[in-house]
């Protein structure tokens, strides 16, 4: 598994397309697939998610590309935030 800070931190995913996202509630996992500008797929598995909130209001119009991504940790709980070029935000709380 890739390091959560390296994968999501400091807008590393900028301009990647958000591809597939699969949530398995009973296992507590989320699988993300991002596609970079060279069409290379980059997957990340969150193994113990606590919560997820993902809007699809498209306030800025249709979009599927990452504008920014960041991650922080508070008392052992990781918070991932991904903003798309549509203005929508995906927020995830998880254990590392």
Best CA proximity match to 45, nearest among 36, 53, 34 = 34
Secondary-structure breakdown of the chain: helix, strand, coil percentages, each rounded to the nearest 5: 10, 55, 35
**Helix or strand (DSSP H, E) at 83:** strand 77-84
Give 21-79 pLDDT, tens digit per residue.
999 999 999 999 999 999 999 999 999 999 999 999 999 999 999 999 999 999 999 99
Q: Where are the domains of the chain?
A: 4-95
pTM of the model: 0.89
Q: Is 68 helix (H, G, I), strand (E, B) or coil?
A: strand
């Amino acid at each position: 598994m890739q390091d959560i800070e390296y994968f999501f931190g400091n807008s590393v995913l900028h301009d990647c397309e958000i591809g597939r996202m699969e949530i398995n509630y009973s296992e507590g996992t989320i699988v993300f697939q991002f596609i970079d500008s060279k069409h290379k797929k980059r997957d990340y598995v969150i193994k113990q998610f606590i919560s997820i909130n993902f809007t699809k209001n498209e306030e800025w119009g249709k979009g599927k590309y990452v504008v920014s991504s960041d991650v922080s940790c508070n008392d052992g709980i990781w918070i991932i935030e991904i903003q798309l070029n549509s203005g929508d935000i995906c927020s995830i709380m998880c254990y590392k």
